[in-house]
């Protein structure tokens, strides 16, 4: 029998050490990178900050699961500019190797979705009201109340009370869709949109337009807006008319947004989810609301809830599939057992989300449900 040489013994030892190292590595959870394109600066940054908070809270919870893969979020700022969003998406793919992504805001999702299909990268589009964004696509999911769902919630309240409505809508894809959906849902032989005007996200002095609007003598004003212009418009409406009812849209249910509007937001009616008013029916929802109120001093908004649930859905799919974009998407769409923060959440086979929405009203600075509508 040949006696092993010193060199062969050292080689065997090195091989054993390498095997042990591999064994140790395999016991560590695999890290999966998830790209997150969020409005962190510019118009809509307040909503972007809540988006990030929801994603971070979801990540915190998901990474506590010892059975799951470790998740890492890679943030990029879209500045609510489609070109910047698309640049950020390509950077996440080409430089960071991302295959799963969360993309926030209607205009950014619309710009990125074709690239996601071409590059075969899963895009979960959030804060996008564009119904049909995911239809006919293989790598896109849309997780947010769409314009028709929001409009149905709002117009059912408005139609029971008003006949002549004026509309100021944001001059972008989101605003146009919200305006069109509401007009279609509200209008009939007895009810009409008598004034409609797009406003720039950067507009600050809207007094001339407001005077023009008030001259048409509307019963109420519908304002699908977000960002600085929502503050300017609503405050300036209240300068001229303290009593005209104001109806907002989903972006305005976020606490930093309606707090920035101040007293002008009082009595405004908005479509939201139960959690926006702190209404919780499951143990998970109750525990989350209690902890969120303790940490942040407010109710979790629809934006926070949706992004928390987004990470939980991704984490569950990654635990139970091979982690490819195709498998993750299929798992999310077929997962009927998930019960998260968003009540009544489900996805159709196109990848479009459905959820429960209710009319809410700002009363003494807080969102409360409207029981009669």
Low-confidence ranges of the chain (pLDDT < 70): 1-29, 372-373
Residue-by-residue DSSP string for 210-237: HHHHHTT--SEEEE---SHHHHHHHHHH
Q: Let me know: does 305 contact 277? Beta carbons within 8 Å.
A: no
Q: Is domain 31-145+282-356 in CATH 3.40.50.2300, yes or no?
A: yes
* CA–CA separation, 266 and 113 (whole Å): 37
Give me the pLDDT at residue 66, please: 87
Give me the pLDDT at residue 9, please: 46
Give me the pLDDT at residue 43, please: 83
Domain boundaries, the chain: 31-145+282-356, 148-272
* CA–CA separation, 247 and 20 (whole Å): 64
Residue-by-residue DSSP string for 343-354: TT-EE-TTSBEE
* CA–CA separation, 222 and 162 (whole Å): 11
Q: Which of 175, 219, 181, 217 is nearest to 197 (CA)?
A: 175
- Backbone torsion region of residue 217, taken as left when φ is above 0, otherwise alpha when ψ lies between -120 and 50, otherwise beta: left
With tokens 């209710």, the residue in question is 358
**CATH code for 148-272?**
3.40.50.2300
Equal fold, 31-145+282-356 vs 148-272: yes
Please state, as a whole number, how many other Cβ atoms lie within 10 Å of the Cβ of residue 4: 11
Q: Which of 293, 243, 238, 244 is nearest to 261 (CA)?
A: 238
């Amino acid at each position: 029998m040949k006696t092993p040489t010193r060199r062969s013994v050292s080689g065997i030892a090195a091989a054993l050490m390498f095997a042990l190292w591999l064994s140790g590595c395999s016991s560590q959870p695999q890290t999966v990178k998830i790209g997150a394109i969020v409005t962190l600066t510019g118009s809509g940054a307040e909503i972007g900050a809540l988006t990030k908070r929801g994603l971070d809270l979801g990540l915190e919870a998901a990474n506590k699961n010892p059975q799951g893969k470790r998740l890492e979020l890679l943030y990029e700022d879209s500045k609510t500019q489609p070109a910047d969003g698309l640049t950020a998406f390509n950077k996440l793919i080409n430089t960071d190797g991302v295959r799963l992504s969360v993309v926030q805001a209607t205009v950014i999702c619309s710009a990125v979705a074709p690239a996601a299909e071409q590059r075969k990268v899963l895009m979960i589009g959030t804060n996008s009201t564009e119904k049909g964004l995911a239809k006919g696509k293989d790598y896109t999911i849309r997780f947010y109340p769409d314009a028709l769902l929001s409009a149905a919630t709002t117009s059912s309240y408005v139609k029971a009370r008003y006949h002549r409505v004026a509309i100021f809508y944001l001059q972008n894809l989101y605003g146009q869709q919200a305006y069109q959906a509401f007009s279609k849902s509200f209008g009939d032989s007895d009810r009409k949109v008598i004034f409609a005007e797009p406003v720039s996200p950067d507009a600050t002095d809207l007094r001339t337009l407001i005077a023009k609007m008030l001259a048409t003598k509307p019963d109420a004003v519908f304002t699908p807006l977000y960002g600085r212009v929502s503050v300017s418009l609503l405050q300036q409406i209240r300068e001229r008319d303290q009593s005209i009812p104001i109806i907002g849209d989903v972006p305005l249910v976020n606490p930093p947004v309606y707090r920035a509007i101040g007293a002008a937001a009082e009595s405004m009616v908005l479509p939201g989810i139960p959690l926006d008013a702190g209404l919780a029916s499951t143990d998970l929802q109750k525990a989350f609301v209690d902890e969120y109120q303790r940490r942040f001093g407010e109710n979790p908004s629809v934006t926070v809830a949706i992004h928390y649930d987004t990470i939980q859905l991704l984490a569950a799919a990654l635990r139970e599939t091979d982690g490819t974009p195709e498998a993750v998407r299929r798992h999310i769409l077929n997962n009927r057992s998930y019960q998260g923060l968003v009540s009544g959440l489900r996805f159709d086979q196109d990848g479009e989300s459905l959820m429960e929405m209710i009319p809410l009203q700002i009363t003494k600075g807080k969102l409360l449900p409207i029981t009669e509508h």
